[in-house]
Chain A
Amino acid sequence: MTTTNAPPSETVADLNARLDERVARPPAPTDTVQGVRPQLVVEPTAPEQVSQILAWATETGRTVIVRGGGTKIGWGPTPSSIDVLLSMSEMRGVQAHRHGDLTATVLAGTTLSATNAVLAEHRQWLALDPPDGESATIGGIVATNDSGPRRHWHGAPRDLIIGMTLVRADGVIAHSGGIVVKNVAGYDVARLLTGSFGSLGVIVSATFKLAPRADASRTVAVDFPETGRCAPYVAGLLAQAAMPTALELAVPPVRMLVRFESVEVAAAQQARQAVTLAEQHGGSASVLTADDESGAWRAHDAHVFGADREGTILKVVTLPAELSSTLEQISEVAQANQLEYAVTGRAGLGVLFVRLHGSGPGRAAFVTALRAQFRPGQGSVVVRRADPELTSLVGVWGPIGDSLPIMREVKRRFDPTGTLNPGRGPGGL
């Protein structure tokens, strides 16, 4: 890779001259990525500027890391160097809210909470509730396919995205999908970029299918004496054809939160049924509303994604029916390696988040032991938030399986010079 050796100030001046605007600046201390300082920071305000920046970076052999709200910038392996940090934070706003069609187009730098504040005017929302919604941006959430408890009913970004404007590494601006919820014209490039961690292109805006806001909400909080009670309870809810919008567990201690959002009578009735069922399964349960309800969800979020930003966070995915055995393994392996741990996650989907505290080698042993339990396709252990010590020992992604070569080929076609987020895409792309 041919990186120019010009001092940063000259590069900044050169790029601003090319763009005919002041979008480039030297990095501030807050612009470091896992301790690595970028050569310069660019904050474009229009897709055409993103296009010019990427074309310039590709031509001159510079690497580019994209940043939205910065809430997930620490995921992935530590970059060896960063030439350009491309911040999307100046490209903000809900471009269109077609409330009659239940769709909206949002610029990538808009935070989720700002987006939903606009959509609330018509009692609608983008039905995603990942951690850090106050500062996480649409672009970052889509790029990482991140989601939260309501994924149980509403799905992840890849399920809600219907269109995208993106800029390729060579600067070409392209569109995929459209503004209608049902559309099979052409390849679904928007879905391909969703979860690609900025390795294939820069997301400029995305169009989503929205959900109406429910009239009423109830959350059933269930405390169980042991983890083994969770899976039978989940199966019991399913057998009743209950329709929770979130079905979460948190350990230790063992607590489940089951949320029902519907018309008043249905939310209340389903919650009562869920309480009865919980008691039959040996739990103590109560129905939460209003401030108690939102407080319980905040505490649940903080259980793993606490504000202290300490500890390693892993995403552990298992089969829903393997929930009990996976939780037992987590507990056993954590004890064996003298690690403190906390788990939250989607009990109905088998998607768990584990926070670990303890020695680097202990955490590495934990990841290795848990990964050994899963064949590709049957489960996975991905490091979400980590330190260089852990990722150097166990990597970020774990085994990808036999599709890695074709993934590499897709990356090569989209970004032949390796400009975009090199080595930090899924599977190390």
Chain B
Amino acid sequence: MIDSEFLARLERIVGADGLVRDESELLTYESDGLMSHRSRPAAAVLPETAEQVQGVVRLCHQHTVPFVARGQGTGLSGGALPHPEGVLIVMTRMNRVLAIDIPNQRITVQPGVMNLEVTRQVAPDGYYYAPDPSSQVICSIGGNLAENSGGAHCLKYGFTVHHVLGVEAVLPDGELIHLGGEALDSPGLDLLGVVVGSEGTLAVITKVILRLCRRPQAVRTLLAAFDSTDAAGNAVSDVIAAGIIPAAIEMMDRTTIRAAEAAVQPGFPDAEAVLIVELDGPQSEVETLFEQIERVCARNQAWGVQVAADDAQRGRIWMGRKAAFAAMGRVSPNYYVQDGVIPRSTLPEVLRRVRALEERSGLTIGNVFHAGDGNLHPLVCYDDAVEGQAELAEQVASEILSYCLDVGGSLTGEHGIGSDKACHMPKMFSDDDLATMQLVRVAFDPDGICNPDKLFPTPRLCGEVPGPYRAHPLETAGLATRM
């Protein structure tokens, strides 16, 4: 229970400047990137040191008060949704780069450092940080770590878990521990491997050691148009069958191409589908394989092929792709995004079912996805002003997830389960599977105070379906605001 005494103690830990208790200011934090889920925290703190994080967590532990760590709030699964009776630990002030170690290809950062900032720091030395979620300009490393973020280039280079070498973390009882380190293979259980991707439910990360990659000798990027998503999908299959692992293979359909064009004019052809294929590596390898990719595209009746001649053109193609989510706002008042995964070879079958669902539901469903690893991003368009459409959109999105599970896929490839999909977990995992995950949970957090009600289904959470946020008529009329 958070009372004035508790708030006073919080203030002693983080200072008056580091405590947010004003109800209107707390509204800033009521949702993350999944804005249909909202909940205002009882208090928010903005620590600047690991000691302050420890102090806050220890206090919460003493009083069994829930706490939720939050980075930039760009997450799309409600993983940083605050607890209404808890403390939100906002990590944005812990945003310093602590050490750059080029000889060892390492960088040590605080969790509030932006993803793209890591690459900016080491680019002059010829290095980069590989995981590149679309939100990389505004998302922070701590959140990437919690969600095990991927991005367009993870097909070849792996996910966040492959690039985090060590962390300093505050356990839910306030103990500060270190997992992994600068060197590989620290003896002991691979707890780092399970903390990465645990969606903030096991610890609060206060320092991260990341692996840096050498910038490749050559990068070549191609954009090709197709008359159907099936043809584009076949081209992807042919690339994989040829034994080529491109740095990225991305697919966009007509809806998302048009949205991207409307928003950032990347110059994409008006086609049923486009593929973006990028190769990188040694010069001679890239040149040889690129010719093979061009032949595969031609064999699958690609047209409008554009090959980026320089970094500017390459940047323009990627801008079109990475802007696709935000661009949906140009073609639809609201949209709901999922990120189910399918075995790549089932792509045509699943897309056919999605198209049938689109016709049946009457809602437009855009598709932009990481075709190389089967990670779909269906964007279900709806208009919140139309009665019942938001609920329909959620149902449609849920149905798409069930298609993914039907072919042996996953509920989420990079966005996480969070509060959004916790109730879907029993569709993918048995009670025994979930109970086994809970063994990890209770080892770290026996009181269940560290980001509760996320990831795992609970009767409280799933007994009744949580409706999306609806503005009260008084709010719409401007007669009241949510406090």
Residue of B nearest to A346 (CB): B184
- Establish whether residues B417 and A185, one from each chain, have CB atoms under 8 Å apart when the complex forms: yes
Q: Residues 425-445 of chain B: 1 if any A CB is under 8 Å from the residue's CB, otherwise 0?
A: 100111011111101111110
Contacting residues, chain B, for A407 (C-beta < 8 A): 188-189, 191
Contacting residues, chain A, for B442 (C-beta < 8 A): 413
A38 at the interface (CB under 8 A from B): no
Identify which of A174, A235, A241, A266 contacts B103 (C-beta below 8 A).
A235
A364 at the interface (CB under 8 A from B): no
Residues 154-195 of B at the A interface (beta carbon under 8 Å): 154, 158-159, 161-162, 166, 171, 175-191, 193-194
Identify which of A123, A184, A397 contacts B413 (C-beta below 8 A).
A184
Closest chain A CB from B164 CB (angstroms)? 12
Closest chain B CB from A159 CB (angstroms)? 6
Please measure, in the bound complex, the distance between the C-alpha atom of A321 and the C-alpha atom of B374, giving whole angstroms. Answer: 38
- Establish whether residues B345 and A100, one from each chain, have CB atoms under 8 Å apart when the complex forms: yes
Contacting residues, chain B, for A211 (C-beta < 8 A): 245
Q: Which of A8-16, A28-36, A82-90, A189-197 contacts B (4 or more CB under 8 A)?
A: A189-197
A249 at the interface (CB under 8 A from B): no
Residues 386-429 of A at the B interface (beta carbon under 8 Å): 397-398, 400-407, 409-414, 425-427, 429
Q: A182-B413, A403-B179 are in contact. Are A100 and B237 (CB under 8 A)?
A: yes
Please measure, in the bound complex, the distance between the C-alpha atom of A397 and the C-alpha atom of B188, giving whole angstroms. Answer: 8
- Establish whether residues A179 and B343, one from each chain, have CB atoms under 8 Å apart when the complex forms: yes
A236 at the interface (CB under 8 A from B): no
Q: Residues 272-291 of chain A: 1 if any B CB is under 8 Å from the residue's CB, otherwise 0?
A: 00000000000000000000
Q: Residues 79-108 of chain A: 1 if any B CB is under 8 Å from the residue's CB, otherwise 0?
A: 000000000000000000010111100000
Closest chain B CB from A406 CB (angstroms)? 6
Q: Residues 181-221 of chain A: 1 if any B CB is under 8 Å from the residue's CB, otherwise 0?
A: 11111111101101110011000000000011111000000
A299 at the interface (CB under 8 A from B): no
Please measure, in the bound complex, the distance between the C-alpha atom of A402 and the C-alpha atom of B245, giving whole angstroms. Answer: 40
Residues 34-54 of A at the B interface (beta carbon under 8 Å): none
Please measure, in the bound complex, the distance between the C-alpha atom of A414 and the C-alpha atom of B345, giving whole angstroms. Answer: 36
- Establish whether residues B214 and A191, one from each chain, have CB atoms under 8 Å apart when the complex forms: no
- Establish whether residues B345 and A266, one from each chain, have CB atoms under 8 Å apart when the complex forms: no
B264 at the interface (CB under 8 A from A): no
- Establish whether residues A174 and B436, one from each chain, have CB atoms under 8 Å apart when the complex forms: yes
Identify which of A100, A213, A425 contacts B241 (C-beta below 8 A).
A100
Q: A182-B159, A266-B285 are in contact. Are A176 and B433 (CB under 8 A)?
A: yes
Contacting residues, chain B, for A266 (C-beta < 8 A): 281-282, 284-285, 288
- Establish whether residues A180 and B342, one from each chain, have CB atoms under 8 Å apart when the complex forms: yes
- Establish whether residues A241 and B341, one from each chain, have CB atoms under 8 Å apart when the complex forms: no
Contacting residues, chain B, for A17 (C-beta < 8 A): none
Identify which of A187, A265, A374, A404 contacts B188 (C-beta below 8 A).
A404
Please measure, in the bound complex, the distance between the C-alpha atom of A406 and the C-alpha atom of B215, giving whole angstroms. Answer: 37
- Interface residue ranges, A against B (CB under 8 Å): 98, 100-103, 123, 145, 155, 158-159, 166, 168, 172-176, 178-189, 191-192, 194-196, 199-200, 211-215, 235, 238-243, 262-263, 265-266, 269-270, 315, 317-321, 349-351, 374, 376-380, 382, 397-398, 400-407, 409-414, 425-427, 429
